[in-house]
Chain A
């Protein structure tokens, strides 16, 4: 990992300032000059295909396409982009890894590259180059990007999973600011429910929002699914506390959350059915884009997830790493494209267009005006720094990826909250599944 020093930050800040001055033809000149001097020279007649997660914010994708076009014009490498729902990127990448055929680049979710680390092109040189140039990588990004000493993917960005709440409902419930501790938050949930403005967290198989809040809840109460040595420790008094807390929250949520997938809380919030939930900034963006929902946009805000008894942030945010498959015929072109994406001249306009939906993993980009132009976005600036990884205290490898993909913890919370299992048996079932996933292989 690159050390974060004043020098690197100043260096990154200078690059950032230079980037903001470039527009139109000047930007294209920069792109061409970049292609001449970049350490990676695309192979002759190289063409790349990329499968990426399907955007949630249209302007983000528009800027992304523009970025890809700039790369094509600068290097002559044509890039074909396919988009899939983010949950479907993983199965397709898995099949490609197994068969050795398919897109060259996969841009997916969480620890996707760790499902098949030996099938990923070594990206150490790209990560080092970017880290040195842009103020270093945040800690969690290093964990997601590296397998052993090698970078197997480049962490492009996070999508924050923070509290979305209605300001007027908060005031009506007697709170002047959004709760910062889990105890306060439970009181808040009770008060909003009492006022007829309940909130809700997804308890169905929701990869993003569901896992986002139950991992936060587990860690906030000191629970972990594995320890530092990947030993399964889910069956613990701390986990039981987390389960009891989740159940108390569940009892004060809107009915039906056990069936919620990722899209449910967005539409419920935008339909005035719930007053708080955990989500990216997409609800706010959608409300701003829809003339009939402007009142919701004006009346909502975002906050960090409340801090639990452990006394420090325990958030899990969506990580979007990009990887190149070893079956690609064009590894140099792949590396050049990834480096190009994260250069300030390209990355800055792109995250601005994402309107807070994407958060950088390189420290220098804290200075991007997207985070301060609208104060309601500012909390999302910090998600990369606050995020823990899907492995918790343990490794972030394929085992953590399997546990999160198989919804082991989400099912444990859901089965307890809905009364299907008591705490002991819910933990025992999860423990058994985790022991299998984490068995020595």
Chain B
């Protein structure tokens, strides 16, 4: 412990006799011990992550139905999906949902984080309030939105009617584009606190001395944000946006409660379509293929945010290229 605390190199383990018996040599072998220490974590990852993922990919190459195992059919599920208009509609919906919701969540989240980082009265309480949408279980908030967006009983429609701004109810979830914007709005409402609070945590790690130096040099607020805050935040932005994109791309509960993918599949996401085909329709192979088709998109999203936002090597103590 002392070594670690002092930041010095740990004392080397006593060297085993080079040609002694195997067990005494293994007992002090760092690689051998390291292997055993890593084994529980590796077993956990293999059992609960790699195996289900591998099984899902394998299922996508079979015609498995619920209740009976299937035969290997190669790429047939993918060939079928390639010409399936509902599948491509779900890809479009998922991308639209993810891109719009993530971008807006980032913009509002960053804005809120900057506001909450100021010295406001009741700062702690405000921060707690911002977290509320994130604390409420997704299904509950989805049910609340379900009533807000109801074609007959929406309080939004009712209020606008009372104000004389509209004559009939707004068809929030019955019209293709209204439904898309409605579910995106609900997702943004739910996701903003996660982005805001995480970015706020990032903001608080920025050293005040940097801001003081900038102010002495006469920097404007925009220059301070652009040259200090934003660059210092990029690592945390990369992490938070990666998670945000992943959560949004794989969203299920909100859509399922609000629209079940309707109207006419206008809000059908890849996750909901996969569930509908695999579990409700019994076509496990096809559902697995839809779920597997999400992987390249997810990998691309991770790589973009990781390499795009983490390219500044100086943050790790090196010069920018």
Asked if B173 and A256 sit within 8 Å, CB to CB, the answer is: yes
Checking B67, B152, B174 against A97 with a beta-carbon cut-off of 8 angstroms, the contacting residue is B67
Nearest-neighbor residue (CB-CB) of A263 within chain B: B146
Min CB gap A133→B, angstroms: 31
On whether A259 and B281 interact (CB within 8 A), knowing A97-B66, A420-B176, A441-B63, the answer reads no
| Complexed CA–CA distance, A414 and B175 (Å) | 11
Checking A203, A267, A406 against B263 with a beta-carbon cut-off of 8 angstroms, the contacting residue is A203
- Of A41-49, A70-78, A113-121, A355-363, which stretch is located at the interface? A113-121
Asked if B68 and A258 sit within 8 Å, CB to CB, the answer is: no
Measured between beta carbons, the chain A residues less than 8 angstroms from B260 are 204-205, 261
Asked if A267 and B153 sit within 8 Å, CB to CB, the answer is: yes
| Complexed CA–CA distance, A271 and B171 (Å) | 17
- Of A56-64, A387-395, A397-405, which stretch is located at the interface? A397-405
Asked if B263 and A414 sit within 8 Å, CB to CB, the answer is: yes
Checking B168, B176, B261 against A255 with a beta-carbon cut-off of 8 angstroms, the contacting residue is B168
**Is the CB of A415 closer than 8 A to any CB of chain B?**
yes
**Is the CB of B279 closer than 8 A to any CB of chain A?**
yes
Asked if A258 and B262 sit within 8 Å, CB to CB, the answer is: yes
Asked if A256 and B65 sit within 8 Å, CB to CB, the answer is: no
Contact code string A54-98 (vs B, CB < 8 Å = 1, else 0): 000000000000000000000000000000000100110011011
| Complexed CA–CA distance, A98 and B66 (Å) | 6
Within A227-268, the residues touching B (CB, 8 Å) are: 254-261, 264, 267-268
Measured between beta carbons, the chain A residues less than 8 angstroms from B261 are 205
Contact code string B66-83 (vs A, CB < 8 Å = 1, else 0): 111000000000001001
**Is the CB of B265 closer than 8 A to any CB of chain A?**
yes
Asked if A259 and B171 sit within 8 Å, CB to CB, the answer is: yes
Measured between beta carbons, the chain B residues less than 8 angstroms from A436 are 80
Checking B67, B263, B277 against A418 with a beta-carbon cut-off of 8 angstroms, the contacting residue is B263
**Is the CB of A273 closer than 8 A to any CB of chain B?**
yes
| Complexed CA–CA distance, A92 and B229 (Å) | 50
Asked if A259 and B263 sit within 8 Å, CB to CB, the answer is: yes
Measured between beta carbons, the chain B residues less than 8 angstroms from A256 are 151-152, 169, 171, 173-174
Measured between beta carbons, the chain B residues less than 8 angstroms from A204 are 173-174, 259-260, 262-263
Asked if B67 and A98 sit within 8 Å, CB to CB, the answer is: yes
Asked if A257 and B174 sit within 8 Å, CB to CB, the answer is: yes
| Complexed CA–CA distance, A436 and B289 (Å) | 15
A-B contact count (CB 8 A): 120
| Complexed CA–CA distance, A379 and B147 (Å) | 33
Range of interface residues on chain A? 35 or more
**Is the CB of B106 closer than 8 A to any CB of chain A?**
no
**Is the CB of A122 closer than 8 A to any CB of chain B?**
no
**Is the CB of B310 closer than 8 A to any CB of chain A?**
no
On whether A255 and B280 interact (CB within 8 A), knowing A204-B259, A204-B260, the answer reads no
Min CB gap A424→B, angstroms: 14
| Complexed CA–CA distance, A419 and B175 (Å) | 11
Asked if A402 and B283 sit within 8 Å, CB to CB, the answer is: yes
Contact code string A263-292 (vs B, CB < 8 Å = 1, else 0): 010011001010000000000000000000
Asked if B259 and A429 sit within 8 Å, CB to CB, the answer is: no
Asked if B264 and A258 sit within 8 Å, CB to CB, the answer is: yes
**Is the CB of B85 closer than 8 A to any CB of chain A?**
yes
| Complexed CA–CA distance, A259 and B279 (Å) | 22
Measured between beta carbons, the chain A residues less than 8 angstroms from B153 are 267, 271
Asked if A402 and B282 sit within 8 Å, CB to CB, the answer is: yes
**Is the CB of A411 closer than 8 A to any CB of chain B?**
yes
**Is the CB of B179 closer than 8 A to any CB of chain A?**
yes
Checking B85, B152, B169, B174 against A429 with a beta-carbon cut-off of 8 angstroms, the contacting residue is B85
Measured between beta carbons, the chain A residues less than 8 angstroms from B66 are 94, 97-98, 115-116
Measured between beta carbons, the chain A residues less than 8 angstroms from B68 are 116, 118
Measured between beta carbons, the chain B residues less than 8 angstroms from A117 are 67
Within B195-249, the residues touching A (CB, 8 Å) are: none
**Is the CB of B172 closer than 8 A to any CB of chain A?**
yes
Contact code string B256-300 (vs A, CB < 8 Å = 1, else 0): 000111111100000000001101111110000000000000000
**Beyond A203-B263, A258-B174, A401-B282, 5 extra complex contacts between A and B, CB < 8 Å:** A94-B282, A254-B152, A259-B259, A402-B283, A415-B264
21 contacts between A and B (CB under 8 A): A91-B279, A94-B67, A115-B65, A203-B263, A255-B169, A256-B174, A258-B174, A259-B172, A259-B179, A260-B151, A264-B151, A268-B152, A402-B283, A405-B282, A406-B276, A414-B262, A418-B263, A433-B84, A433-B86, A436-B80, A437-B281
Closest 7 CB pairs of A and B: A256-B151, A116-B67, A259-B173, A258-B263, A205-B260, A259-B174, A406-B281
